[in-house]
């Protein structure tokens, strides 16, 4: 985590909104007893993945740049090595339940667009910070309503998505290429078409 790059990007980015765009819940119903999911022994695994993208919205008189960060988070309970000795790797371990969500954090660029390295550092730290309270609330709500065992989602700090507690494994965020895509507003396009028709008729 490069604080100088993060600060440089923070001065140029203003949070517009955070939206939940994907959410999944999967459970192993064979492990429900008396209305509760009750596996004998399990480990908790977590996931964090980010996808930053730079967008440009252009109208007749000016262009607005926005920085969008898709933050995907996940948590699942799997059979522990002690419970199923044959499952030594993650690929074959029995999954009792999983919760995933993808949030879209969008920021307005004020002034000059920050450098790609600064944008990535900002996405890896600040964007996840902005999304994380919504994720913790979602996991708590989902686990309670699905009658799952308590799931630990500690506070996000120091660029680390989860604390490692007894078998918890964390997947580090991958570095996605920052792309720029321009979109013209429909209103501006209609105005240009009208001007062309008017010029032809004259």
Residue 202: what pLDDT? Answer: 58
Domain ranges of the chain: 3-201
Tens digit of pLDDT for each residue in 86-98? 445 555 789 999 9
Q: Which pTM does this prediction carry?
A: 0.73
Listed ranges 51-60, 72-81, 137-146, 174-183; the one with the highest mean pLDDT? 137-146
Tens digit of pLDDT for each residue in 8-24? 889 999 999 999 999 99
CATH number for the region 3-201 comes to: 3.10.420.10
Helical ranges in the chain per DSSP H = 3-10, 116-122, 128-145, 186-201
Q: Which of 78, 91, 92 is nearest to 39 (CA)?
A: 78
């Amino acid at each position: 985590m490069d604080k100088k790059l993060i600060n440089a990007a923070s001065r140029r980015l203003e949070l517009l909104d955070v939206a939940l765009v994907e959410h999944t819940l999967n459970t192993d119903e064979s492990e429900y007893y008396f209305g509760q999911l009750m596996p004998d022994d399990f480990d908790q695994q977590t996931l964090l993945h980010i996808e930053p993208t730079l967008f440009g919205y252009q109208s007749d008189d000016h262009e607005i740049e926005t920085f969008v960060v898709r933050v995907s988070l996940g948590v699942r309970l799997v059979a522990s090595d002690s419970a199923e000795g044959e499952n030594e790797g993650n690929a074959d371990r029995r999954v009792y339940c999983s919760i995933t969500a993808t949030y879209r954090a969008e920021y307005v660029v004020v002034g000059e667009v920050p450098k790609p390295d600064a944008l990535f550092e900002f996405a890896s730290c600040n964007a996840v910070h902005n999304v994380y309270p919504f994720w913790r609330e979602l996991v708590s709500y989902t686990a309670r309503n699905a009658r799952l065992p308590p799931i630990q989602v500690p506070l996000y700090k120091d660029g680390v998505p989860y604390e490692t507690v007894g078998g918890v494994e964390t997947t580090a965020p991958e570095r996605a290429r920052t792309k720029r895509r321009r979109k013209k507003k429909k209103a501006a396009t209609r105005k240009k078409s009208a001007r062309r028709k008017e010029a032809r008729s004259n």
